[in-house]
Amino acid sequence: MPSPATPEVRDYRNGPSGAGTQEPVTFRHFTDSGVSTSWWPPDMSGAKSGDVVIMSGNLWLKLSVDGGQTFSDLAFTDLFAEEKDYGGWGCDQVVHYVPSIDCFVLYVQAFKGKSGANNEKNVVKIALASPADLKKYKGGKLAWRRQWHFSSDTFGLGSTWMDFPDVSYGDRYLYANTNTFAFDGTATPPGDTFQGKLFFELPLADLVAGRSLSFYFAFIQEKNFTFGSPTQNIGPKNYWAAHMSNSRMRVYSSKGDDADYFWRDRDVSNWPMTADITSAAPDFGDWISADHRIIGSTRVNNQLWFAWSAGSGDGGHGGFSFPQAHIQIAKFDIGNNYSLIEQTQVWNAKTAFAYPCLTTNSDNEVGISLAWGGGSDYASHAVGILGDFVVWFGKESVLTAQTLVPVLDAKGKPVLNPDGTPKQKPISRWGDFVHVRLAQPDTRFFSAFGYAVIASPETSSNAAEYLYVEFGRERQVQQPPR
């Protein structure tokens, strides 16, 4: 049986609300930071420290020095040297703020190489900037002077490239992981196939000092697993998880100064695992187009919470049939041999939910950033605090973002129109991710990064309006008596 349904998606501008004895959710900022017609998809990330906020998307950066009320554009190509050895700087930026070293961390990857020795390989950049330097240099290149590059060859990956990263931090290490892909001739049409999960653990003291790095890394070559992101709020250890099936998960742990890493397999309740999670919007047949990778992960005291997108339907064996795509959350007890505590969902009979990101505040509340839509609603961004059974938006999309891609035949060759031009088809995908972080230094509050799809001011096509949301409770949550 599922957890209680999330009854509605609510516009925060209609007034705050709590759940039961909870204090109402307060929205300190809801900022529209600008419009772009370059969409596919934004992959929103960011972080906050005091009055400095960094917001990122696919190869763009924005800086706020007034706590997220206004943002200015930072030209990525002016900040960082052009990448010429592989496919050029590309996408999937991830931003975090690490309070113990008072620095923002930026991760960005290059496209895979197109020819020569670096074909099917790529490189990733990790750069640091302090809030003081970002203000002093107005976000310029001197603020990001501490940089490191890690290539496929750094990790001995052969003709394999890195994609879909995430980062978190502990008390002494920065934890990064990424999926890996390679062309092995088995995909139909020909393309790149998943190879496994790479993770590496970088000493924070060496990063902040700008030194060369000595660190551990590992490559987990489990091609049939669906891996997830590293856990937020972790302390001395790094945690992440993978789906082995729709009823079993593998929970991993590692520690930056330990040459070994560990895992254990645990049963979960069956859930609807589909190759492509879909939801129809008013103007398009599918706005989600995602798989079930575990992109939400956080620690709450001695519990690990993992969240992922799931399809509609049941998980087999006569279980509950979810009417829409939804979010599954599995909770494990670290102190009790990682036993499953419970499995909950974010779901609704009329609305689809997907792309969850989680983090835990100083009151041990879990904030969530996600996408919602379907039926009569266009795909939009929302935030909330788990347990309130309501998520909030500040701006709804007015259409589904679409782009055109070539139609390929069974051999991977472009299909041509009668006039000889390449045949194209429209597709849509909301993600790959939206993020939620702690609104440092007031760690009762959360900072979230999302977007709305609007009609382009210049053309009839879609555009992305980037959003910054700061939310939380002004007073500590009153815990019910036990």
- Name the residue ranges covered by the structural domains of the chain: 9-414+427-472
Q: What are phi and psi of 459, to 5 degrees?
A: -130, 180
Q: Determine the average pLDDT of the residues in 190-196.
A: 81
What is the tens place of the pLDDT at every residue in 305-323? 999 999 999 988 778 999 9
Whole-angstrom CA distances from 422 to 98, 114, 164, 177, 429 are 47, 21, 29, 37, 22
Whole-angstrom CA distances from 293 to 4, 89, 106 are 23, 24, 22
More confident of the two residues 332 and 183? 332
Q: Residue 399 carries which side chain, given as an amino acid letter?
A: L
- β-pairing verdict for 9-11 and 391-393: parallel
Residue 124 confidence (pLDDT) above 90: yes
How much is the pLDDT for 389?
Answer: 87
Residue 17 confidence (pLDDT) above 70: no
More confident of the two residues 3 and 64? 64
Residue 18 confidence (pLDDT) above 60: no
CB 229 within 8 A of CB 166: yes
CB 313 within 8 A of CB 247: no
Residue 103 confidence (pLDDT) above 80: yes
CATH (residue range 9-414+427-472): 2.120.10
How much is the pLDDT for 21?
Answer: 45
How far is it, in rounded angstroms, from Cα 177 to Cα 228?
A: 9
How much is the pLDDT for 16?
Answer: 56
Looking at the chain, the whole-number percentage of residues with pLDDT higher than 70 is 94
DSSP 394: S
Looking at the chain, the whole-number percentage of residues with pLDDT higher than 90 is 73
More confident of the two residues 3 and 129? 129
- Window from 35-49, 89-103, 134-148, 169-183 with minimum mean pLDDT: 35-49
Helices (H), 252-383: none
Q: What confidence category does residue 482 fall into, taking pLDDT thresholds of 50, 70 and 90?
A: very low
Residue 115 confidence (pLDDT) above 80: no
Q: What are phi and psi of 454, to 5 degrees?
A: -125, 170
How much is the pLDDT for 188?
Answer: 53
- Window from 8-22, 73-87, 115-129 with minimum mean pLDDT: 8-22
Helix, strand or coil, per DSSP, at residue 14: helix
Residue 474 confidence (pLDDT) above 90: no
What is the tens place of the pLDDT at every residue in 400-456? 988 888 898 877 788 999 998 999 998 898 989 999 999 999 999 999 999 999 887
Q: How is residue 47 written in tokens? A: 């972080």
Q: How is residue 340 written in tokens? A: 């499953």
The DSSP result for 429-461, as a single string, is ---S--EEEEEET-TTSEEEEEEEEEE-SSSSS
Average predicted confidence (pLDDT) for the chain: 91
Q: Determine the average pLDDT of the residues in 21-25.
A: 71
